[in-house]
Amino acid sequence: MGFIFLLLSPFFIAALFIIPGPLKETTTIVIPYGTSTYEIGEKLHKNGVVYDASLFTLAARLIVANLLKAGEYQFTPHQSISNIVFMMHDGKSVIHMFTVAEGLTSGEIVHLLRNSPALTGDITDIPLEGTLLPETYRYSFGDTRGSMILRMQKSMQELVHELWVTHDPSLPLKSPQDAVIMASVIEKETGKSSERARIAGVFYNRLHINMRLQSDPTVIYAITQAKGSMDHELDHNDLSFQSPINTYASDGLPSQPICNPGRAALEAALHPEANDYLYFVADGTGGHAFSRDLNEHNLNVAKLRNQRN
């Protein structure tokens, strides 16, 4: 077939490069690294993307000197050969999105990465808690899971550095790591953006009077060793579980983050609301009822129990 193309005029061949292709519906095809130009043409022909593998090979040689990039490509109906050649030369492959929700543990994030089939390679070690920034990351087919971890770590380092520069120096935080620890607790305490700074204020109020943080999520993390939720509601025995992460049993901040906090929780940890609250309890609507003393707190707890009953 290639010999026949050599006998045709250059103008006719050029016309063949720009005529609409045979594809009838959008198709995604993976071109592995090391695939030759002709093998690419064969694969495209087999999947109905181009009329002829030799014609594609000729076009790739004449137009871009066979400089085609591997990857995952999405081909649209009736896409011309010249358009395909330019697309693969420029490496305009399919872009995937990997979204990390705020509050996930590093183990949970690794699990998601391992279940993303477009990524390659394995992750041998679970990254330290609090080192991965929750965000949406763009990646291409064949990118490695290890590279995704590095990107998340770099993003977290850059954000923490950016926010630490403007933090309130009067806060009882000795280092950026302390801010990440506090933010991780705030992250697990509430999913409402309007409450994060207020809860941060409560925790700092407790620290200022040498009161323990008494955060339930720290107990759960310590007992389950970051494996997830418990099979029962927290009881008094759980609260006394001996661990430097359990803030019912230990003074000050937990010894490490209990999740990977997002930007909003980090901002709350570094810029808390100025308030005089010392307690809060879930109000049954997704938010919390805040109180200034134990008496008021107990009333809020009783009200919540009555609502449940």
pLDDT digits (tens, 9 = 90+) for 39-94: 999 999 999 999 999 999 999 999 999 999 999 999 999 999 999 999 999 999 99
Q: How open is the CA angle 298-300-305, to the nearest 5 degrees? A: 95
pLDDT (average), residues 112-120: 95
- pLDDT, tens only, 259-282: 999 999 999 999 999 999 999 998
Predicted structure pTM score? 0.85
Asked whether residue 222 carries a pLDDT value surpassing 60, the answer given is yes
Q: pLDDT tens digit string along 287-306? A: 899 999 999 998 988 888 87
Residue (of 52, 60, 118) closest to 87 by Cα position: 60
- Per-chain mean pLDDT for the chain: 93
pLDDT tens-digit readout, 123-158: 999 999 999 999 999 999 999 999 999 999 999 999
pLDDT on residue 9: 60
Is residue 8 very low, low, confident or very high in pLDDT (cuts 50, 70, 90)?
Answer: low
Strand ranges (E), 76-127: 95-99
- Give CB contacts under 8 A, 24+ apart, made by 261-264: 261/102, 261/103, 261/130, 261/134, 261/180, 261/183, 261/184, 261/186, 261/187, 262/102, 262/103, 262/133, 262/134, 262/135, 262/187, 263/133, 263/159, 263/163, 264/102, 264/193, 264/196
Lowest mean pLDDT among 1-5, 165-169, 179-183, 212-216: 1-5
- Mean pLDDT, to the nearest integer, of 154-170? 95
How far is residue 27's CA from residue 219's CA, in Å, rounded to a whole number?
50
Q: What percent of the chain has pLDDT over 70?
A: 96
Q: Which domains does the chain have, with CATH numbers?
A: 2-89 (3.30.1490.480), 95-157 (no CATH), 168-308 (no CATH)
